[in-house]
């Protein structure tokens, strides 16, 4: 399997988004990355669970929902009900760090993959203890909230630290990188055992989705991690359930 692509809902404008999702659904991408911003945790504001549910109806792709919101604990049930297969919270969005584990466990209990993300300004060492409770670790390679930023090269050093920890602990977590990823730096990320990359501005401004996707996907075959296999089974079951529900209407 080649590296997974999680195509972002950012930067298209809200009135263009549905058409863009339909186009993405026809391409060789793996996830739709729903960038949910509340205008408080980050300056930008996008959409909420209703739009996520609408996107879910437009695609059979895995929904990779990234919550850039303050106090996400009370919101996760709505997003999972809306169709989130992966639900990622931000380390910085929860003041009481003791509650992070509770939120991640709640996401799992509700049937979604539990993701944890952290900003470039946060020390990797702060994050390591929480990896035990994650299905996915989303490493931000830009400051969250705005599309089109340049990839921060220090991300590679942070990935080295994470990989050493995972190897030492013999852990299997899906590694995803978000921010400034393109065909010029993708090979650097593949070398760091990254499983999935979020593509926003690179895809949206490409003018040729098929070629843009191909440039990211083209590499030597890579075996799936146990985490990716688990996610695929979860999504397959959800897709079957969705089709059954629709056929009854």
Enumerate the active-site residues. 35, 178
Question: How would you label 10-20 residue by residue, b for 16+ Cβ within 10 Å and e otherwise?
Answer: bbbeeeebeeb
Q: What is the CA radius of gyration of the chain?
A: 17
Q: Give the E-state strand segments of the chain in sequence order.
A: 4-8, 31-37, 62-68, 86-90, 113-118, 136-140, 174-178, 196-199
Which helix or strand (DSSP H or E) is residue 125 part of? helix 124-127
Owner of token pair 């020390």 = 123
Calpha distance 161→15 (Å, rounded): 41
């Amino acid at each position: 399997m080649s590296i997974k692509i999680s195509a972002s809902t950012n930067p298209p404008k809200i009135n263009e988004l549905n058409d863009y999702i339909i186009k993405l659904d026809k391409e060789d991408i793996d996830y739709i990355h729903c960038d949910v911003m509340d205008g408080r945790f980050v300056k930008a504001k996008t959409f909420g669970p209703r739009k996520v549910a609408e996107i879910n109806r437009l695609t059979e792709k895995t929904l990779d929902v990234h919550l850039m919101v303050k106090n996400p604990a009370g919101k996760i049930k709505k997003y999972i009900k809306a169709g989130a297969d992966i639900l990622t919270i931000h380390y910085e969005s929860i003041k009481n760090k003791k509650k992070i584990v509770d939120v991640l466990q709640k996401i799992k209990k509700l049937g979604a993959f539990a993701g944890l993300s952290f900003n470039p300004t946060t020390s990797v060492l702060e994050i390591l203890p929480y990896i035990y409770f994650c299905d996915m670790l989303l490493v931000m390679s830009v400051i969250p909230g705005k599309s089109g930023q340049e990839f921060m090269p220090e991300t590679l050093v942070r990935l080295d630290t994470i990989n050493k920890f995972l190897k030492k602990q013999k852990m299997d977590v899906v590694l995803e990188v978000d921010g400034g990823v393109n065909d010029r730096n993708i090979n650097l990320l593949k070398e760091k055992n990254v499983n999935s990359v979020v593509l926003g501005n690179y895809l949206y401004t490409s003018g040729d989705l098929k070629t843009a996707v191909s440039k990211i996907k083209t590499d030597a075959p890579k075996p799936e991690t146990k985490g990716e296999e688990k996610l695929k089974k979860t999504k397959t079951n959800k897709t079957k359930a969705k089709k059954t529900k629709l056929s009854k209407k």
